[in-house]
Amino acid sequence: MSIKMPAPDEGTLSRRAEIVAALRAIVPGEGVIADDASLKPYESDGLTAYRQTPLVVVLPETVQQVSRILAWCDREGVRVVPRGAGTSLSGGALPLADAVLLGMAKFNRILDIDYEDRLVVAQPGVTNLAITRAVEGNGFYYAPDPSSQIACSIGGNVAENSGGVHCLKYGLTTNNVLGVEMVLMNGEIVRLGGRALDSAGLDLLGVVVGSEGLLGVVTEVILRILPAPEAARALLIGFPTIEGGGQCVADVIGAGIIPAGMEMMDRNAIHAAEAFVNVGYPLDVEALLIVELDGAEAECAHLSEEVERIALANGAVNCRTSRDDAERMAFWAGRKAAFPAVGRLAPDYYCMDGTIPRRRLPEVLERINQLAESYGLGVANVFHAGDGNLHPLILYDANKPGELDRAEAFGNDILRLCVEVGGVLTGEHGVGVEKRDLMPEMFSECDLAHQQRVKCAFDPNLLLNPGKVFPTLHRCAELGRMHVHRGQVPFPELPRF
Ligand SMILES: Cc1cc2nc3c(=O)[nH]c(=O)nc-3n(C[C@H](O)[C@H](O)[C@H](O)COP(=O)(O)OP(=O)(O)OC[C@H]3O[C@@H](n4cnc5c(N)ncnc54)[C@H](O)[C@@H]3O)c2cc1C
C-alpha cells in the first residue's frame, strides 16, 4: 500500500471504550460492532489492495440516530467514514484506524413511488437494481446502471456520481437525482433539491452529488424514473483494428445518433469474456463494439441500419444485430461479465478509471499497451467508448514481491496520460484514496484550495472521510486566511467587518 493515510490520533485511540459506549447509548442493540472478528468484513471496500480495521462500526436505523452520532463525533473531535455497500473501487469507504465507520445498510426501504411525477423516494441503503425492480412492473426503470448495480447502494451512487452503460444517453447519477436529505457533521439535517425538476438558490445538490462522503451523510434520495423504451436492439461489431472501432464510435456520435449504450473491448477482454460466457464473440478481431439503440420500434430499426452502415465504412469485419431480447442480452452478457472473466487471466487485477476525449482513443490504447510492455504487466481494456471512459484492467500477482507497486505505478501513468490528452482522472469510480495524490496533475494549488473551502463550509473540523480526495488537507482557518501584501489589503473597496 503506497498511499499514506492521515496518522491515527492517539488520543482518539485511547478513548475507544468511551466512544463505543457513547455510540451504544445512541444506537442500542446490535447496531454497534466493536469486536475484532466482526470488524473484519469492514476493513476494505472494492479496492481490496488497501485494508484498515475501523475503530468501531455503527449501523444506525433512523435519521435522528445519524444526526446524534455525527453531532457527538463533531463535538468530541472523532473522525467518521460513511459507508454504503462497500463496492467503491477507489477506496472511498476505506476505514481509518481512529474513525467511526458509519454504515448505512439498515436504511434499506423505498419510501414512495410516484408514477405521475415519475420519481422514487428511497433510503440510501437501497441497492441500485432494487429501484428498477420496484417500478419495472409498471413499465418504468432507473437509468444509471453501474455493473455493480446488484450490490451497490443508491447512497454510494450519489456520493460517487456513478455511471453505467446507459449513462451515455440518460446521464450519470447527477442527472437522475432530484433531491437528497443529508445530515451535516454538526448533526444538522438539510434538504437539497426536492420533487420538482429544479429548485431555487445555489445548486448545492450538484455539489453534493459526487462529493465522496466528504460533505455529509445522505439519508434520503429522490430519484427520477423513466418509462421503459418500446424497443431496444443491440449490434455486435468486430473490427480488425482499434483505430477502426474508435473512429466508428466518433462517427456514430458525429452523425447525431446517441445510442443507449456503446461499449468496446480489446482483444484480451474479448477472449476472456468469450471463454467465460460462450456467447459467440468473434475471436479474430482486435476490437469489439456493442451498440445498443432504444426508442420506438421504427426508430430502432432505422438507427441500427445507420450504425451498421457507419461500422462497415470503418472496416468492420463482422456485424450482427440482435433479433430478440434474448440475443440482445447475450451480446451484453460477455461485457457485463468482463471483469470477473478477466479475473481468470491473472491472480489479481487492478481496475483503472479515467476519461479521455473520444477521438484520442486509438492513440491512448496504443500508449497503454506500450506502458504494459515497459512495466512487464498484462492489461485488458474494457470501456464505455461512447463517453470516453476507460477501464484498463492491469493484471498482476499480489504474491509476487513488487508487482502491486508496479501495477499502481502503471495505473498512475495511465491516469497521467488521460489528463495529458485532455481528459480527466476519473470517469465514474471517484478519486477516493486511489487517485488522491494525482489530483495536482489536474488541478492547480488554487483550484484545490477553492474545492477545500467548499469542504470547510460543510465540515469545518474536517472530520468526515479525511484522507480521501484531497492530497493535502489544509486547516480551514489556514484556507480562509487573508493574504496582505506589503500592507495592501486585497479588494480595498470592499467593506470589512
Ligand atoms: C464489480 C464492480 C463493478 C463496478 N462497476 C461500476 C460501474 O459500472 N460504474 C460505476 O460508476 N461504478 C462501478 N463500481 C464502483 C462502485 O460500485 C460505485 O462507486 C458505487 O456507487 C459505490 O456504492 P456503495 O454503496 O458500494 O458505496 P461505498 O463503496 O460504501 O462508498 C463509496 C463512497 O460513498 C460514500 N458514501 C456511501 N454511502 C453514503 C451516504 N449515505 N452518504 C454519504 N456518503 C456515502 C463513502 O464514504 C465512499 O466515499 C463497480 C464496483 C465493482 C466492485
Predicted confidence at residue 490, as pLDDT, reads 54
Does residue 354 line the site of ligand 1, with CB under 6 A? no
Output the CA 479–ligand 1 centroid distance in Å: 30
| Helices 242-254 & 361-375 angle (0-180, nearest 10) | 150
**Beta-sheet pairing, 261-266 with 189-193:** unpaired
Output the CA 92–ligand 1 centroid distance in Å: 8
3-state secondary structure of 4: coil
Q: What percent of the chain has pLDDT over 70?
A: 96
Beta-carbon count within 10 A of 293 CB? 27
- For ligand 1, atom 19: residue with the closest CA: 88
Does residue 145 line the site of ligand 1, with CB under 6 A? no
Euclidean distance between CA atoms 313 and 309, whole angstroms: 6
Does residue 82 line the site of ligand 1, with CB under 6 A? yes
Cβ distance 268 to 381 under 8 Å? Answer: yes
Tell me the pLDDT band of 491, cut-offs 50, 70 and 90. low
- For ligand 1, atom 11: residue with the closest CA: 162
The residue type of 212 is E
Does residue 123 line the site of ligand 1, with CB under 6 A? no
Pocket test for ligand 1, best of 66, 69, 160, 175 (most atoms within 8 A of CB): 160
Does residue 99 line the site of ligand 1, with CB under 6 A? no
- In whole numbers, what is the pLDDT of the chain averaged over residues? 93
What is the number of the ligand 1 atom nearest to the C-alpha of 84?
30
Task: Tell me the per-residue pLDDT of 198-233, one tens digit each, with 9 for 90 and over.
Answer: 888 899 999 999 999 999 999 999 999 999 999 999
Per the listing, cell 410516484 goes with 114
pLDDT at 314 over 70: yes
3-state secondary structure of 234: strand
Higher-confidence residue: 478 or 491? Answer: 478
Q: What percent of the chain has pLDDT over 90?
A: 85
Cβ distance 95 to 433 under 8 Å? Answer: no
Tell me the pLDDT band of 480, cut-offs 50, 70 and 90. low
Sheet holding 56-58, edge to edge: 32-33, 56-58, 99-103, 79-83
The whole-number average pLDDT for the span 381-386 is: 90
The whole-number average pLDDT for the span 226-251 is: 94
Output the CA 452–ligand 1 centroid distance in Å: 22
pLDDT at 492 over 70: no
Predicted confidence at residue 495, as pLDDT, reads 52
